[in-house]
Chains A and B, each alone.
Chain A
Amino acid sequence: MKPETSAIELHRALEEIWGTKPGLTRLAAVNHNVVGRRFMLTSLIFFAVGGLLAMLIRTQLASSESVFMDAEEYAQVFTMHGSIMMFLFAIPFFEGLAIYLLPKLLGTRDLAFPRLSAYGFWCYLFGGSLLLAALVAGVAPNSGWFMYTPLSSNTYSPGINSDVWLLGVTFVEISALSAAIEIMVTILKLRASGMSLDKMPIFAWYMLVVATMMLIGFPPLILGSVLLEVERAFDLPFFDPTRGGDPLLWQHLFWLFGHPEVYIIFLPAAGAISTILPVFAGAPLAGYRIIIAALVSMAFLSFGLWVHHMYTVGIPHVALSFFSAASALVAIPTAIQIFAWLATISHGKPRFSIPMLHIFGFFFVFVIGGLTGVMLAMVPFDWQAHDTHFVVAHLHYVLVGGFVFPMLAAAYYWLPHISGRQPVQHLSSAAFWMIFVGFNVTFFMMHLTGLRGMPRRVFEYPPESGWETLNFISSAGGFVMTMGFALVALDFILIFRFGRPFHRNPWSAGTLEWAMATPPPSYNFASLPTIDRRADMLDPNAIGPHLAAGNGLLAWPRGGRMELLAIDMVSGAPEHVVRLPRQTFLPLWTAIATGCFFLSLLFKVYWATPVAFVAVIALFLLWCGDTAESKDVGRLPIGNGQELPTHIEADRPPSWWAMVFAITADATAYISLLFGGLFLWISAPNWPPQDAHEIGLSLPALAAVTSTVAAVAGWRAAASLPSSTGLLSLASLTHLATAGIMLWLALTSVPNPHAHAAAATVFVVLCYAALHSLMGAVFAGYGIWRIRSGFVSHARSLDLRIGAMWHGYSALIAITAAGFPFLLSALASEISR
């Protein structure tokens, strides 16, 4: 401990530990500054590709009966445009922004699981590249960005186009789920000392809500993609109505993700506005608490309106009323935020810098998009406008207004932080006006073509339709908008190259990210702050030098370890010291192995799939090599006379919470699967199946018993140290037995899963349980290895406690899976009566 260390010595010592080394070791980077920037840059490259595809679409539609593209090329282009913008640009860009910003706003040095965010980035890069490679090869997805069945099924899409989407997007979504867990745990546990819930920066509240929505929203999409890929690859008919499946199951699973997705994209942008706007208004954010209430309300309501994309599929009136009402209602919390922002402006003396210009662009465009959204929420109007260009206009007003303009504001606002240089602003205004005018010219016209009946996704239209002039104007506007974006790109390059250097906090903001040097050092803060007021009302100019001089907490490097402070999630009281693992190539290798897993499925090299899966698990186990402590550490001094235990010896450290959230996501997928089976029973034609289930009671009952034994043994093991090895061996064996029984049932007792969706659903449920029990055996084996290696003691029982959660959860999965065939069989036989 060297409290007298000078600021420069402290900087050098911390940079040595936290910094990314040059050369090839950059590929081992896990630091959130590096990973966040990589996410943002990569997403901008994808944005450029998506934008070019949009230009191709507008060129095609500029005139009637255009021969610029044929139907197949056009289908690939519009599918890839939508998929890239939604999955490869919008979500990853705000993930990158959150990864870069959150630790700084929260007053900490990094995210909770830096290697996980690095792994997420590689999965995103490889998955996105897979989609682009397919585009170049002419086999890009061509069934629209929401991949409706039966168009995307084998019958109508026999090539690998749909497989590329299903596997590529699922590969990319690994990064979304990992980011969700990362963000939630970081916000809840790694804030600055004293930063209680009521003092959190508003952006953190937004991201906490968004990450929770991602955790619940993405699993149904992943499940749907897996089921559709299984149908395409192995002919299990979940979506085939001739064999008891239903295309509507895909629509439910997709939109259960797809509608919250709109808010998942909008809310981070709104969080950026809530952070930026008060700075330029010169007044604190009005209605901080009611905005948080509005956010929570929006999050729930957004999950209650997925069917408003399905009004025309034949849903009973009363059910439509639930979704129509929720769709209209969600406008209220949105409006609360808009009025809060207007109130903030009215309380202060606004400065009209470039970020504010983009915020005004947001207000204008997003409010129009919101109003047409309320129109479309009304069932009778939607029936008229469904699948027309009116919907295309609405969604672009919402997404460009609700995401692109705020993110441009955010980019101009935080670019000085990333680059260390301030905008010169010669091109910025011109770029804004070109985008704003070009956007409105492009998309306002689509309201009109839509109301005149022009359907979306047609590659040509007849000259007598009366749509040509409007389409031509729309296309001209599109090119103006593209030139605007090109100017923005040039502007950013000029800022990096010729921007004016500045000292600190160029916008006079009150948030912690400005209390550090810019561009930021890898460790953010030389010592960690203590917060005594709301974290957007601070004085970074005073706090920055204080922390840089090492006067905060955890100011001195200790044994070359990367250390953070974890707090009580409610009060913000310091709780324990988190010791992070160092830079490593493992996230890259693991993502490569994960890529091999997906490629083996895509190219139907199925013998390689289990090999790649085992490699992924083995590589993940290697991650645990440098997270352990070989002896009890006890309490460590953190500065200011305080001492705390390390996270390994804490009751509920970040990794404990990560497991809770991972199980929540997994449970959402599993519940969606079970409900999918029940939905088919209720809704699908050709039920009941000809072959009734013939599963006897004994084996499912035995599986329920063995899984319960595994759970109890796993729980007892955590409490029975040091003699836990026997219990863990028992847990491992009973997990293996459960997995064996489930697989045996799936392969021998379930009627032909190719013949009917009922059997296919039971087959997948049993396999799902088997996989979870196998993972339980891995957890138990891992626990035994940790005990024998001396990494576990009474104080250091974290590994076993995390494992115990999985043992209990996998038992629940196995028990419900054992009962599911009987439930479905009973319900199906009820129909036959």
Chain B
Amino acid sequence: MMRNPIITIISGFVLWSLFFLLLYAVQATGCHFAGRPLVALERYPILRVILIIAFLLSLLAVLIPFLLLRRRYTASRSDNETVDFTREVAGYVWIAAAVATPFCFAGVMWLSLCGT
């Protein structure tokens, strides 16, 4: 459990936000570097590989702390209501972030990367 409960509660979605920006920026920058002829031909395997790696990293970054938090939560119950509250709320938020991550970013596996 982190020292500040508010940080504990928001950290799952902070990670999600950072990866959202990262993936969007990598996609836009990659398409920019690919240039117009490549956009037309849809040939940019390196960009897709990079995006998939970033996507997998995002999954790990959100899932591993969530599982650790969950294990710690089940291992030790607290009598302190505020701690209990923080763990429960943070747990829900982490679940939401863990669901949002593949739901929002999985498109990098098959969708057109630069085509509009």
Quick check: A293 and B93 within 8 Å, CB to CB? Answer: yes
Is there contact, CB below 8 Å, between A322 and B96? no
Interface contact B32-A322, CB-CB below 8 Å: no
Contact of B105 with A by CB under 8 A: yes
Main secondary structure of the interface of B (DSSP, over half): helix
The answer to whether the Cβ of B111 comes within 8 Å of any Cβ in the partner chain is yes
Is the pair A316, B85 in contact by a Cβ cutoff of 8 Å? no
CB proximity to B under 8 Å, residues A90-142: none
Contact between B27 and A198, CB atoms less than 8 A apart: no
10 interchain pairs, CB-CB under 8 A:
A198-B84, A198-B86, A296-B10, A296-B89, A316-B116, A322-B23, A329-B103, A332-B96, A682-B29, A683-B32
Give the size category of B's interface with A. Answer: 35 or more
Provide the B12-50 mask, 1 if CB < 8 A to any CB of A, else 0.
Answer: 011011001001100111011000000000000000000
Q: Is the CB of A198 within 8 A of B107?
A: no
Q: Report yes or no: A290 in contact with B85, Cβ–Cβ below 8 A.
A: no
Shortest Cβ gap from B27 to chain A (Å):
6
> Given contacts A317-B111, A329-B100, A329-B103, is CB(A293)–CB(B17) below 8 Å?
no
Contact A682 B28 (CB under 8 A): yes
- Complex Cα–Cα for A662 and B14 (A): 20
Please tell me if the beta carbons of B116 and A314 are within 8 angstroms of each other in the complex: yes
Given that A197-B86, A198-B81, A317-B116 are known contacts, is A325 also in contact with B103, CB under 8 Å in the complex? yes
Q: How long is the Cα–Cα vector from A198 to B6 in the complex, in angstroms? A: 11
| Given A322-B20, A570-B4, 12 other A-B residues pairs in contact with their CB atoms under 8 A | A197-B5, A198-B82, A289-B85, A290-B89, A297-B96, A315-B116, A317-B111, A318-B111, A318-B112, A319-B27, A322-B23, A322-B107
A304 near B20 with CB under 8 A, answer: yes
Q: Do A322 and B105 touch (CB < 8 A)?
A: yes
Question: Is A225 close to B, CB under 8 A?
Answer: no
Given A316-B115, A322-B104, A329-B103, residue A289 in contact with residue B16 (CB < 8 A): no
Closest beta carbon of chain B to A340's beta carbon, Å: 12
Q: Would you call B82 and A326 a contact (CB within 8 A)?
A: no
Question: What bracket does the count of chain A residues touching chain B fall in?
Answer: 20 to 34
Contact in complex: B92, A316 (CB < 8 Å):
no
With contact pairs A317-B116, A571-B82 given, residues A322 and B24 touching in the complex (Cβ less than 8 Å): yes
Please give, as numbers and ranges, the residues of chain B lying within 8 Å of A297 by CB-CB distance: 13, 92-93, 96-97, 100
Interface residues in A435-494 by Cβ distance below 8 A to B read none
Cα–Cα, bound, A300→B12 (Å): 10
Partner of B81, one of A196, A316, A321, A333: A196
Indicate whether A292 reaches chain B with its CB closer than 8 angstroms: yes
What are the residues of chain B within 8 A of A300 when measuring CB–CB?
A: 10, 13-14, 16-17, 97
Within 8 A of A (CB), among B91-109: 92-93, 96-97, 99-100, 103-105, 107-108
Candidate in A303, A304, A318 with the most chain B CB atoms within 10 angstroms: A318
B102 to chain A minimum Cβ distance, whole angstroms, is: 9
User: Which residues of A (293-314) have their CB < 8 Å from a CB of B?
Assistant: 293-294, 296-297, 299-301, 303-304, 314
Do the beta carbons of B104 and A304 come within 8 Å of each other?
A: yes
Q: Which residues of A contact B13 (CB under 8 A)?
A: 296-297, 299-301
Indicate if B113 sits at the interface (CB-CB under 8 A): yes
Interface string of A328-344 (1 = CB under 8 A from B): 01001100000000000
Given contacts A198-B82, A319-B24, A682-B29, contact A326 B104 (CB under 8 A): yes
User: Bound state CA distance, A304 and B23, in angstroms?
Assistant: 12
User: Which chain A residues border B99 with CB–CB below 8 Å?
Assistant: 329
- Residue B9 lies at the interface, judged by CB distance under 8 Å to chain A: yes
A332 cross-chain contacts in B, Cβ below 8 A: 96
Q: Given A197-B85, A289-B92, A326-B104, are A296 and B9 also a contact pair (CB < 8 Å)?
A: yes
Q: Mark B55-98, 1 if CB is under 8 A from A, else 0.
A: 00000000000000000000000000110111011001100110
> Nearest chain A CB to B17's CB is how many angstroms away?
6
A681 CA to B99 CA, complexed, in Å: 33
What is the CB-to-nearest-CB distance from B58 to chain A, in angstroms, rounded to a whole number?
11
